[in-house]
Amino acid sequence: MRRRAARRLAVVAVSAAVVSVGAAAPPAATSGQAAKVPVAVGYGGAVASVDADASAAGIEVLRKGGNAVDAAVATAAALGVTEPYSAGIGGGGYFVYYDAKTRAVHTIDGRETAPLTADSHLFQENGKPLAFADAVSSGLGVGTPGTPATWQTALDEWGSRSLSTVLRPAERIARDGFSVDDTFRAQTAANETRFRYFPDTAELFLPGGQLPVVGSTFKNPDLARTYEELGREGTDAVYDGDLGQDIVSTVEKPPVDPDSGWKARPGKLSEYDLAAYRAKLQNPTRTSYRGLNVYSIAPSSSGGTTVGEALNILENTNLSKASETQYLHHFVEASRIAFADRGRWVGDPVFEDVPTKQLLSQSYADSRACLIKDDAVLTSPLAPGDPRHPEACAKGGTAAPTTYEGENTTHLTVADKWGNVVSYTLTIEQTGGSGITVPGRGFLLNNELTDFSFAPANPDVHDPNLPGPGKRPRSSISPTIVLDRHNRPVVALGSPGGATIITTVLQTLTEFLDRHLPLVDAIAAPRASQRNSAQTDLEPALYYSDMKDRLAAIGHSFRLNPEIGAATGVQRLPDGRWLAAAEKVRRGGGSAMVVDPAP
C-alpha cells in the first residue's frame, strides 16, 4: 500500500412523571470511578450506553465543549475497549444525526462490505452452503471494516473536535484498564473454546490462560497504541496504511493454533477493498406516526423500512386504549407482516432495486394491516406483499425466511447542550465477532459477511441478500430519532440484538408513545419478538405469565428467549432538560449520564 497524507423538544406528553434524579459522570473516564445508573436527568447534554466508562468518555467530551457527534465517537471508541465482543474498529455500523440548527436528520451507512472478488457462492463449498460456525470463525466471514470511516465522516461533516482528541478517553481506558464485570466474564466464557483457536485472541482475552476474574482490571495496551496511531495518522492508517496491511494479512491467513484442529478458512479481503471503502452519507427513512416524524437508517439496513412499515400498519389502531393483550397481539402481527416484506425486498440498494418509498407508504401499510384480526393469528412464514402494486389483504406469493444475525451489537445515544442528537448502533456481528484478533493491534475482526444468505432459500424466488462484489449485507440495525411537528427532538433510541433490534425498537417506541410509559420503563418492559416465524420469542417475564396464556388463546405460540435487546435512549423534556435512559437489568444494566444533573 502507498501511504497518503492523513485526511482531513417540545416533547410528547408522557402520563407518568420522571421520578429519578440525575446522574453525572466522574471528571474523567477511568476504571472504577463510574457507576451504572439506568436513568439521568439534567442539562448540558446526555449520554446513554451499555457501559459506565464509555458513557463517561462521552460526557467528558461534552464537558470540554464537544458536541453530540464528538461525544458519540468518543463513546463508541470506549465501547471498543470495554465492549470488545460487541464493537470496535474491526466492525461497522449505522449513524443517525439530528442537526439542531437546520432541524434536519442525516445518516451514515458504515456497514462492512464484501471483498470485490466475492460472488453469490462466497459461502458455498462443493455446491453446498458452509456450516454457519465454520463461516463465522474464519477469514471468510470478515467484511471490510466501516467503523473508522464512519467516525471520520461524522467528525468531518458535523463534529467540532479532531479524531485524535475524541479517541483520548478510550486510549486512556485501554492503557489503564477497566474493571471486569459479570457480563464481560460470561461473554468471554461463552467464547472460550473458539478464542483458544487463535493464540493472539487467547493471549488477550484469556490472561494467563484463564477466564478474566470479576473485579480484576483488564488492560489492552495494544489497543491503546492502535488508537494513538489512528489519532495520529487518521483513518488512512486503516484504509491505506500499516494497520490495514495487518488486517489484510490476518484475514488472508488467520493465525490459528495448529494444535487446535480448527480449520479457519482464509478470507478474500485485500488492500484494494480497504482503499475502495467509503462510509456513505445518505438520506434517512422517514415515516409519520401519531403526528410525529420518525427517522431512521435506510438500506442497506432493513431497520428503517421495517420499523417504519410496522408503525404505519399500527397507525390506525388505537394502542393507547387497547388492552395489554390486544396491544401485544397487534404489535406481534405488525412485526410478522413487516418482516415478511423485509425478507423479499430489502438488500444493498447499489445491487438491488429496493422499493424503499413504497415500503414506507401508508397506502401499502393499509393494504397489509387488513390481514390482522383481533381474534386470530396469521400463519408464518407469511408471504410478502408487493409494495409496487398493493393489493388489499393479499396472501399469495412465496415466503422468505429471516436470515440469522448475531445479537451482540451495541448502541449509544447522545445529546448536547445545543440540541443536537446522535443515535448510533455499531457492531462486529455476533458476540466476539470472528474470534480473530489482529496480532499486536488489540481488536477483534467482524464476521458481518455471515449476515448474507449463504444460498437462496427458494431457487424460484429472488433473494436480495446474497453476497456480491463490494456488497453490503442486509442488517436489522435501527437507530431512530423521533421529531415533533416542528422538527424538534422528542426521543432517540436504538438497540443491539440482531434481527430482534427491529422488534425491540418498535416495542420501545410504542410503549413510550402509545402506552405512555416513562422512557426508562419502556426500555425495561418485558419483550416479545416476532420475525415471521411460527413461534414468537418471549422474555421470561412474559413467558411465565398469564399474558402468554391470553395470547395463546388467540392462536399465538411461543419460545423462551432469556434476553432480547439492550436499548438506550435520550428524551428532550419540556423544560429543556435531557433525560438519558438505559437498561435496568439486561446486559448487566446500562449507564445513563448527563453533564449537569438536576433533581
Is 409 among the catalytic positions? yes
User: Is the Cβ–Cβ distance between 267 and 252 less than 8 Å?
Assistant: yes
- HEC states along 36-53? CCCEEEEEEEEEEECCHH
74 CB contacts (<8 Å, ≥6 apart)? 57, 58, 60, 61, 66, 166, 167, 169, 170
β-pairing verdict for 536-538 and 558-560: parallel
DSSP state of 466: S
Distance CA 466, CA 365 (A): 27
For residue 554, give the C-alpha cell: 388467540
Query: Which residues of 131-261 form beta strands (DSSP E)?
Result: 178-179, 217-218
Q: How far is CA 451 from the centre of its chain?
A: 13
Q: Is 294 helix (H, G, I), strand (E, B) or coil?
A: strand
- HEC states along 496-558? CCCCHHHHHHHHHHHHHHCCCCCHHHHHHCCCEECCCCCCEEECHHHHCCHHHHHHHHHCCCE
Q: How many other CB atoms sit within 10 Å of the CB of residue 484?
A: 16
Q: Is 24 helix (H, G, I), strand (E, B) or coil?
A: strand
- Please return the burial class of 460, using the count of CB atoms within 10 Å of its CB with bins 0-12, 13-18 and 19+: exposed
Q: Which of 409, 410, 480, 536 is catalytic?
A: 409
**Side chain identity at residue 322, one-letter code:** A
Cis peptide before 473 (omega within 30 of 0): no
Of 415, 408, 382, which Cα lies nearest the Cα of 576? 415
Torsional class of 215: left (φ above 0), alpha (ψ -120 to 50), beta (otherwise):
left
The number of helix segments (H) and strand segments (E) in the chain equals: 19, 20
235 CB contacts (<8 Å, ≥6 apart)? 6, 7, 148, 149, 151, 152, 163
Element (H, E) at 95: strand 92-99
Residues classed as catalytic = 409
